[in-house]
Structure 1
């Protein structure tokens, strides 16, 4: 827009009006036109990656949007009486040149994206397709690639519904699909199933809950037949969104930026306390200063959590006993550190490394994770976001050990509420409330 306005205005002044060249009004008009155009086309998902990967050029959408933009510019020029500084001839030239450059730029971008995708430079995350053989056979792979991304389509076929062991076979297939989706950081999960198979659909949906990614139920053969061949263009609109990703890419970026800034500031201001604590631990009892233990983070990825050592043991195996009140394993200094949560401060380094967030569901030891997953079906949903140093559960009293099923169920309920209602404001509220909870020292032992 800016380029076409500058070219049209300067060419008109030099070739037609022979006036002294002044590009300032043309830059102003080009900038305003660009803002109006981009704002309107963004509402049409014109700049989304799947639409940018479509082979055809959106000629009708570009022309209609540009026509509205040009009319708005003409109206503003009339109301503000800027005719003397911006001639009608230059405006006509701009109105003709702009859509031509828009078509050319869009074509170049599409070709560049297609080349980059083919070389696996951008957009190369595979899509998992789960479905029955009849439904999958009726879909065209290339259409799925255009509508849902640019990676490979990895297909997992369900068993024949009439088989006596169909349920067991489906569970095995869904486990394989889930493992693949986690390992390859898949973009989305697609389900191709007859809409009449309610029981099988519920099984699939219950299994997909453990995955932190969006899932879509594609229209089946009967539904697509009603579109009379238009399903290639409206496949995504007909698909049913059965599961959302916990946080969008923009929200993840915002949260990550806040984590880095606040964690760095916290380390800067709390470093004297951490140095004093390290010296005290070394003098108090034999053993390392930092305690390391394996935990599961986002999407069940393992990482090593850092804490100041507060016990005489270094448990990190398949059997780990939770801390209890007056636990003999806790050192005298460790009781003070645990009561004030000073032992958690080294996790600021986990935050900077991207393994944790300042706010999120607290990660548990691997042995406890396996135990809690068997007890509660929604437990693994906690791993749809990065674990946190503190969380909504901790600042609402669900802190410390979880000796009963009711205790862990309450913590899971609070953690899921946080995931479903995340906002930067909520994170700030949790950080403030955490300080008051630490002062109360409830369930801290």
Structure 2
């Protein structure tokens, strides 16, 4: 009898130990969600507005007494306002940032590590996302943000115009793009061009940056070395890329308004049938062409000098400022908008691997774009003053389009300016 009592006592103690251990684990995972969660984001995307509103309503319903304040900031002001607020310890709890901005915030110590917070919400970020997406927002194993969306450009084209020109497949390299552009350019009986073969932007720093830097990469060059200490723009590769870019303007297969057109204007020309091909984010094409049933659109891998180009990654990260007052609430908000349910609601390309590998993202329209994102994309160099670097590149391109400088002089001048930016950000 005493033996049975001892065994029962031991089992009871073991059960209590296991119970206490489980409670400890749960307590460690639980986050203290209360008070106000302030979120700053650019409301340029309708789906992002809807997604953030959904997350707000879900959190406020699940955590009574908690309020989520959504503050929409104009895109043009977003990075500067976030930087000013964070440097003065007045930042929000959640910041939605273009991926080019996050690295600079991280290097200045303005972001909160997210590893532990997300682990307490049962998230394993490096398994859920392509690890390359964290390249510019990690220091060793420490992560400073969560990918929300990723974009990479692809070639889009008017299928009916291709068929009329007898073109059965998209171009695969520079030579083919140039030849296709000539075949697709059409004039009326009076000699006026009514359809241009290819549309490219001639203004807007970011729009040119996303289209000329990949051409430089494809020709074997880069804007700077991997350590970001030496400008390498002054190269034969840059010269070839600029000659290629300018060739469409010179031979009349790109609009004469190219110098004044940013990519938005160029894409609108594509939507109106005035341009047969362009390099674009397919989300814009879907929203403004496909959904309006204007015409059938083809999507293809981004043609480079000798094959598929490597496109520069764009997109958005969700980050927590180190000065945030409600970091645990911020983690719950980020968990929602970067979850499978959240990713499926946004119109931009989701960053979560599970979503990218399913449904519409693998069809004929999104498939090539997803392939670009997964296999043919890389991060742009992490300039702390990305806007200034983009302006340098835009000025270089504009000077050769307008013949205000020859190609060699334009490149040499831009190289000096890029070096100055590198020297500034490398000052100890």
Give the TM interval when normalised to the shorter protein: under 0.3
Higher relative contact order (CA 8 A, sep 6+): 2
- Taking structure 1 as the reference length, the TM-score comes to 0.23
- Taking structure 2 as the reference length, the TM-score comes to 0.23
User: Which structure dedicates a bigger proportion of its chain to helix?
Assistant: 1
User: Which structure dedicates a bigger proportion of its chain to strand?
Assistant: 2
